[in-house]
Amino acid sequence: MTSTWSPVAVAYTAPDFGIDPSEDLDALALDLVRGFALFSVDPALPPPAGPARDPILFTLLGSATNVVYRLPVGPPISVEVGLGLGPDDIDGICSLDPGGVLPGPFGVDRLLATPEPPLLPTAPVDLAASAWRRFDPVSQQEFAVTWMTGWPPPGNPQPSLAVSAGALSPFGPYVVLDVFVRPQPTNPFQGHPEHTELVIPPSISLSGQPLFLLWGALSPNTFTTSLPLRLTL
């Protein structure tokens, strides 16, 4: 009998990253092409023989050592982003910054949307939302894709609507893109995620025009929104 998969094996252990097995590795980003790894440990669980580590560390795979992740000048990245102690740990990590630029002409802001300040200082912003650019090789079309999850206060499933909207300015006017009736039995996932896709016309692709995407959730008595998301077309 032949097998489809090879036997499962441990790829890397804690000592490969220069940490103790008792420490809590919360997030990991691997660059297997260059042999780098960016990872995060929990300062609340320091190594047995030493003080708490900086929560954002960098390693060359195979070196069994690590260094604090920082810019060429200035404090560690953990200080730059304002990480605290205790429960203020990291659950996911990536070295790309939506505010920065990739090598070449394509800035990350063309690939991933950046959250903007709320439309109104007092507006509720309880919804989680994200947006990114997608290319379909079959249709040869580009899409702006946005997802949301969450419910209006008090935050549990209730008869409500989810609405996606788009604008060319962070303050609008916003045009309604989709309206979803919730809850639906076919959507059993936590937070009842919904998504909208917009075709990016070739005439404005890579033009630098910003697109702002916004989500709202409304019940008979309450409502909440997401932060506006800015995606550069």
Q: Are residues 70 and 154 in the same domain?
A: no
Q: Are residues 72 and 21 in the same domain?
A: yes
pLDDT, residue 46, reads 87
User: In sequence order, which ranges of 22-86 are alpha helices (DSSP H)?
Assistant: 77-80
The residue out of 80, 96, 120 marking a domain boundary is 80
Q: Are residues 216 and 139 in the same domain?
A: yes
DSSP state of 162: E
Does residue 225 fall inside a structural domain?
A: yes
Q: Are residues 119 and 219 in the same domain?
A: yes
> pLDDT by residue (tens digit) across 65-74?
999 998 788 8
Q: Are residues 150 and 75 in the same domain?
A: no
Does residue 174 fall inside a structural domain?
A: yes
Number of domains in the chain: 2
> pLDDT by residue (tens digit) across 9-63?
888 999 999 999 999 888 998 888 788 899 999 888 889 988 889 999 999 988 9
**Which among 80, 18, 68, 11 is positioned nearest to 47, based on CA atoms?**
18
Q: Are residues 131 and 219 in the same domain?
A: yes
> pLDDT by residue (tens digit) across 140-170?
999 999 999 999 988 888 899 999 999 998 8
Q: Are residues 223 and 158 in the same domain?
A: yes
Say if residue 99's pLDDT is above 50. no
> Element (H or E) spanning 60, and its range?
strand 56-60
Q: Which domain holds residue 190?
A: 108-232
Tell me the CATH number at 222: 2.60.40
Does residue 5 fall inside a structural domain?
A: no
